[in-house]
A and B are shown apart, each in its own frame.
Chain A
């Protein structure tokens, strides 16, 4: 039989509960008040628009190949002049895990992780989103690379000599090695 002690804890707990009863609540009334998302919050993928309000997707499909969930499907058609035309840029929002790999992979910064947190829909079809429909792809800006050296350019004499000397040396070394072996 343990020694009986006065149950102080009960009254402590009741005091704390009484204080809490009159404290201001810590709840955000969601539809009426909004929580300010942190700067780095990542939600569903969105198209990045330039200053003219135009997308910058080139239809290169790198994001589609990067996607771990196979949820990006870009339907691209190419005409005779090798201009790409994006028919559909399908993005299954319902299956996306917001990992951001596609954004990292995009070499043109055409997509970014948006801040739209309201991803509940009444209809199953709304979960698949067509981000771009029937638009021309942007031609990627070509870097001015140095003109490639022509293969037909004759090798200079020195270089040829050097090469020969090198080969000579190498053959000698090889020969020596052979001698050692024999």
Chain B
């Protein structure tokens, strides 16, 4: 088959997966938050309101795309793309099962984080290009938050990597099938990773960049229609990606305890997606429970608490890993 054709088909498949994921997570968010507030969320369209996804997406597609004057035109236009494309590309390295993986890079974790690091750039471009003070404040806060929280995020992600000795998500998952899932030995790292993921996906209690009560809508104040839809979908898609990385690093990926991972077959991706959605549920639970931090509290928490803990814990784990490998003569 023509490599161009396969490439285009794969990209389209990724877009479909991302759209489905995004809309499902939007629906799930509304339901979960509704029940947390003793409401019901959407109920009218279809069973349990599941068909509400369709008008949601159609609304974004058919709304008038207004371009406010005085914007920095190119930045304004390109910012949603800068936000959307990395969120789409990050699906490449997620191992849904040992066969269902877009591209098994041996530096998969680094590649994923590399993609995710581009997203704050797009957010900043959106805020700067909007020519709007609220958008600019939101964008600066997003960048500040991303800078301060990505370091503990990477440091906590280093611990499963050190325990495995590989950057490949598939290898990390396979290593967890033979030993215990890594959230037990690396429990503090799991907690730090979880907190930083919340920050990374711009969710409450760290949703500084679009604090509706302070800034109108943060960096996407001036965006409407499908440009806003790109941002919106990217945000929820990031949610899925962070949850998937967390499942791969700490919760054994597509494996289940007491089951031979090589005999799971088509059941493996389903297990992976169920686990991912459980982690997303945990994100939403946190989102519906806690109120928003002040921006200085958020930065202080990131720099003064998470960073030292992550650093010290990384050093300690590295020390023990080295000790064990010296005793056993290489390898865990």
- List residues of chain A with CB under 8 Å of any chain B CB: 10, 13-14, 16-18, 20-21, 23-27, 29
Contact = CB atoms under 8 A, between A and B. Distances in A.
Contact of A27 (B32, B40, B288): B40
Nearest to A18: B285
Contact of B288 (A17, A23, A24, A29): A17
Nearest to B43: A29
Main secondary structure of the interface of A (DSSP, over half): helix
B39 A13 contact: no
Given A13-B289, A14-B289, A21 B36 contact: yes
A20 B285 contact: no
Contacts of B43: 29
Interface string B28-69: 000010011111100100000000000000000000000000
B74 interface: no
A27 B289 contact: no
Nearest to A9: B290
A23 B38 contact: yes
Contacts of A27: 38-40
Contacts of A23: 38
Nearest to B289: A17
A16 to B, nearest CB: 8
B285 A25 contact: no
Interface residues of B, number: 12
B285 A14 contact: yes
Given A21-B32, A27-B40, 19 more contacts: A10-B290, A13-B290, A14-B285, A14-B289, A17-B36, A17-B285, A17-B288, A17-B289, A20-B36, A20-B37, A20-B38, A21-B285, A24-B38, A25-B38, A25-B39, A26-B38, A27-B38, A29-B40, A29-B43
B35 A25 contact: yes
A21 B285 CA distance: 9
Interface of B: 32, 35-40, 43, 285, 288-290
Nearest to A13: B289
A12 B285 CA distance: 14
A134 B39 CA distance: 49
Contacts of A10: 290
B35 A21 contact: yes
A13 B289 CA distance: 7
Contacts of B285: 14, 17-18, 21
B28 to A, nearest CB: 13
Contacts of A29: 40, 43
A45 to B, nearest CB: 33
Contacts of A17: 36, 285, 288-289
A10 B290 CA distance: 8
A33 B40 CA distance: 14
A17 B285 CA distance: 8
Contacts of B36: 17, 20-21
Contacts of A26: 38
A160 to B, nearest CB: 86
A9 to B, nearest CB: 10
Contacts of B40: 25, 27, 29
B268 to A, nearest CB: 29
Contacts of B288: 17
B309 to A, nearest CB: 12
A69 to B, nearest CB: 35
A134 B135 CA distance: 60
25 contacts: A13-B289, A13-B290, A14-B285, A14-B289, A16-B289, A17-B36, A17-B285, A18-B285, A20-B35, A20-B36, A20-B37, A20-B38, A21-B32, A21-B35, A21-B36, A21-B285, A24-B38, A25-B35, A25-B39, A25-B40, A27-B38, A27-B39, A27-B40, A29-B40, A29-B43
Contacts of A13: 289-290
Closest A-B pairs by Cβ, 6 of them:
A17-B289, A26-B38, A25-B38, A13-B289, A27-B39, A25-B40
Contacts of B39: 25, 27
A174 B37 CA distance: 86
A26 B39 CA distance: 7
A75 to B, nearest CB: 43
Contacts of B37: 20
B46 to A, nearest CB: 15
A29 B285 CA distance: 24
Nearest to A31: B44
Nearest to B291: A13
A167 to B, nearest CB: 83
Contacts of B35: 20-21, 25
B244 to A, nearest CB: 23
